[in-house]
């Protein structure tokens, strides 16, 4: 997940679709984000590489739409509805997620355990 | 209170040396009756006994039965005999007379040379007027102007010589200061060469040009003023720039101080260091060192068992027993020290608390007289000495006990305490201010010369004492009871570079880590 300048970023991602929940006049997703290119990457507890300025999921409301969809705490959000979020300011990312006209949000998230799972399965296939 | 406190200081010294001569526990057990503890100051007898073999079955009976019993008794100071202090004092009387001569020698030399220097130009001017007045050319305006210049320059030279050279010496150093000798020689050389020139070219030739002679005299006075400037630079200014850091350690209790001094010869550096010693080092107290000497004596006594008489069989077991006992004692020595020191600390603090309370209470009894007290009965109005004497008894006991516990009772006599109390009352000091003088040992100079235990100093140095101090120089300043070890280190060469920072370049960014819920 570390970003090397000049090289394309490759990551194993999971597709997560969240249905927004209507609460009064707000549409909520049920999680909190942290990070962004205008934030301090050193204070991010979830990133492996402390220079990673990506957007991470910091909290998940238990029982909320994100929780039901399978989002986990510590996930790094790579794309929101097709828009790349890895190089975005915190506010821009928030805006992308909270568009009033969209009911559904399709995220591409990555986490460490995904990569390990792929490696394990590849390893299995090797052995076979 | 101890009124004979100076006496006790030196008698303590002699008894201490006596005690360390005792060998082993056996002699101590046998002579417990005659040994005495710390506090008594009167006559003591120290017995030196060689270790005695108690075995009865010695083959030869050549030994005198009384041989083991003969003792060498060394009596300590008593009221009747001459104490060590008085003997030292006798020697000092003779020394002082010779010291008086040595003290004023530089002054005498300085005044002689000064007189010579001042008189020479005047003589140069007067001799032609006396010896060949008729042939002498009249002195014009320019020439008389030079008279004015000579008189002021001579006045300045007189004041300068008096200020720099004609001061009573503050110390007598072992060797002549090299720079002073050099400057005296230079001055005399200058004066002699001018005299020579004058004698040959002017007196012999009987020169008539008075203006030239006056100019010659003025040039002499100018040269002498420049030599004086050189003297100021060499003797006073050169040592002001600090370039060495010296570390001074007292040998008895390890008191260490660091000073910065400039380029000096070893003897003059020693002189500055001694002046700092009197100002900074706390008074040397031999009473505080007896505990460690006790321990050292115990160690030595326990470990070495000599068998002088040759009979080994009976004593083999005994010596082994002694060695194991000694090693056991050595193991518990640190334990003893720890508990002793903790106990001592507690005792001192308790006594100190009592003392502080007693003094505060005593100070509440006396107060400065105010306007409304003028109507009080005249028996109540006292001057400062009477007031001090009135409140002194209530704190005397607590103070005496405290000083006894911290072993400083010989530093303060009753009169000195009363005098200090009067001083504090006159200057409206608080009880705490009065007590500070007794809670900590002050600098050596604050006590009278009879308590310094540091009068005659000897400089022990491997390098010549007139050579300058360098990095790594070490020397020793010895006095009767202790010595000061001095090591010299140079102050590092400091490389200072500058860096310009534009005041507008101070900019900051905010490091955020915000969390928003979506």
- Is pLDDT of B152 > 70? yes
Read off the pLDDT of each residue in A66-83 and give the average, rounded to a whole number. Answer: 92
**Predicted local distance difference test score (pLDDT) of residue A31:** 93
Residues 6+ apart with CB under 8 A from B37: none
Percent of chain B with pLDDT over 90: 41
- Is pLDDT of B71 > 60? no
- What would the pLDDT profile of B468-483 be if each residue is shown by its tens digit? 999 999 999 998 888 9
User: Considering only alpha carbons, which residue of chain B is nearest residue A92?
Assistant: B516
User: Considering only alpha carbons, which residue of chain A is nearest residue B514?
Assistant: A34
**CA distances for B142 relative to B127, B134, B208, B225, B500, angstroms:** 20, 20, 16, 22, 58
- What would the pLDDT profile of B221-245 be if each residue is shown by its tens digit? 999 999 999 999 999 999 899 999 9
Contact between B513 and A39 using a beta-carbon 8 Å cutoff = yes
Q: Which secondary structure element, helix H or strand E, spans residue B84, and what is its range? A: helix B84-131
Structure tokens belonging to residue B425: 């009352």
Read off the pLDDT of each residue in A14-37 and give the average, rounded to a whole number. Answer: 91
SS3 B282: strand
- With an 8 Å Cβ cutoff, is A109 touching chain B? no
Q: Which residues of chain B are within 8 Å of residue A31 when distances are taken between CB atoms?
A: 517-518
**Predicted local distance difference test score (pLDDT) of residue A115:** 84
> Which ipTM value was assigned to this complex?
0.81
Which residues are registered as beta bridge partners of B259? B246
- With an 8 Å Cβ cutoff, is B518 touching chain A? yes
Please state which of the ranges B39-43, B98-102, B427-431 shows the lowest mean pLDDT: B39-43
**CA distances for B409 relative to A66, A108, B348, B429, angstroms:** 85, 88, 14, 23
**CA distances for B475 relative to B161, B265, B282, B382, angstroms:** 34, 12, 21, 55
- What would the pLDDT profile of A80-123 be if each residue is shown by its tens digit? 999 999 999 999 999 999 998 989 999 999 988 888 888 888 88
Instruction: Specify the pTM.
Output: 0.64
**Predicted local distance difference test score (pLDDT) of residue B42:** 42
Contact between B513 and A97 using a beta-carbon 8 Å cutoff = no
DSSP-assigned letter for residue A107: E
Structure tokens belonging to residue B391: 């409140």
CA distance A61 to chain B (A): 10
Residues 6+ apart with CB under 8 A from B72: B47, B48
Contact between B514 and A98 using a beta-carbon 8 Å cutoff = no
CA distance B261 to chain A (A): 52
- What would the pLDDT profile of B290-346 be if each residue is shown by its tens digit? 777 777 777 777 665 566 776 554 455 565 666 666 666 667 788 888 998 999 999
């Amino acid at each position: 997940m570390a970003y090397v300048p000049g090289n394309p970023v490759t990551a194993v991602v999971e597709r997560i679709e969240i249905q927004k929940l209507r609460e009064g006049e707000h549409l909520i997703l049920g999680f909190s984000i942290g990070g962004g290119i205008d934030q301090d990457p050193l204070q991010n507890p979830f990133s492996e590489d402390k220079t990673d300025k990506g957007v991470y999921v910091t909290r998940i409301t238990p029982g909320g739409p994100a929780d039901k969809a399978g989002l986990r705490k510590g996930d790094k959000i790579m794309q929101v509805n097709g828009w790349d979020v890895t190089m975005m300011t915190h506010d821009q990312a928030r805006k992308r997620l909270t568009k009033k006209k969209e009911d559904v949000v399709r995220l591409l998230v990555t986490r460490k355990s995904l990569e390990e799972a792929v490696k394990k399965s590849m390893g299995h296939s090797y052995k076979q | 209170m101890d009124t004979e406190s100076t006496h006790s200081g030196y008698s303590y010294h002699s008894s201490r040396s006596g005690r360390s001569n005792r060998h082993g526990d056996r002699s101590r057990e046998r002579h417990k009756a005659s040994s005495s503890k710390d506090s008594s100051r009167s006559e003591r007898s120290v017995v030196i006994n060689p270790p005695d073999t108690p075995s009865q079955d010695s083959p030869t009976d050549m030994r005198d039965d009384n041989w083991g019993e003969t003792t060498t008794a060394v009596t300590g100071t008593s009221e009747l005999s001459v104490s060590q202090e008085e003997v030292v004092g006798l020697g000092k009387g003779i020394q002082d007379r010779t010291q008086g001569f040595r003290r004023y020698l530089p002054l005498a030399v300085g005044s002689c040379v000064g007189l010579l220097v001042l008189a020479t130009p005047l003589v140069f001017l007067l001799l032609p007027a006396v010896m060949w007045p008729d042939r002498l050319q009249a002195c014009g305006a320019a020439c008389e102007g030079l008279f004015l210049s000579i008189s002021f320059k001579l006045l300045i030279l007189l004041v300068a010589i008096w200020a720099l050279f004609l001061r009573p010496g503050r110390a007598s150093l072992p060797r002549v200061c090299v720079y002073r000798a050099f400057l005296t020689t230079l001055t005399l050389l200058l004066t002699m060469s001018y005299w020579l020139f004058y004698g040959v070219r002017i007196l012999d030739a009987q020169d008539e040009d008075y203006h030239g002679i006056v100019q010659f005299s003025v040039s002499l006075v100018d040269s002498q003023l420049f030599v004086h400037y050189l003297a100021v630079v060499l003797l006073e200014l050169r040592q002001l720039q600090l370039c060495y850091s010296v570390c001074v350690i007292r040998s008895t209790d390890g008191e260490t101080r660091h000073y910065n001094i400039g380029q000096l010869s070893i003897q003059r550096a020693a002189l500055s260091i001694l002046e700092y010693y009197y100002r900074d080092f706390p008074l040397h107290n031999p009473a505080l060192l007896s505990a460690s000497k006790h321990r050292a004596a115990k160690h030595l006594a326990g470990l070495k068992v000599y068998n002088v008489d040759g009979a080994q069989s009976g004593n083999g077991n005994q010596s082994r027993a002694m060695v194991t006992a000694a090693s056991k004692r050595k193991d518990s020595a640190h334990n003893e020290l720890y508990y002793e020191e903790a106990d001592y600390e507690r005792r001192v603090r308790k006594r100190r608390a009592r003392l502080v309370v007693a003094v505060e209470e005593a100070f509440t009894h006396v107060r400065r007289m105010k306007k409304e007290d003028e109507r009080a009965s005249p028996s109540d109005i006292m001057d400062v000495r009477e007031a001090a004497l009135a409140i002194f008894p209530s704190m005397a006991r607590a103070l005496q006990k405290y000083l006894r516990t911290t072993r400083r009772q010989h530093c303060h006599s009753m009169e000195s305490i009363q005098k200090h109390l009067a001083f504090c009352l006159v200057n409206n000091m608080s009880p705490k201010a009065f007590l500070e003088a007794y809670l900590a040992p002050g600098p050596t100079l604050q006590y009278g010369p009879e308590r310094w235990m540091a009068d005659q100093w000897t400089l022990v140095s491997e390098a010549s004492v007139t050579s300058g101090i360098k990095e790594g120089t070490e020397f020793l300043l010895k006095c009767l009871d202790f010595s000061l070890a001095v090591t010299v280190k140079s102050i590092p060469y400091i490389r200072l570079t500058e860096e310009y920072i534009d005041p507008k370049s101070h900019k900051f960014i905010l490091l955020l880590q915000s969390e928003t819920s979506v």
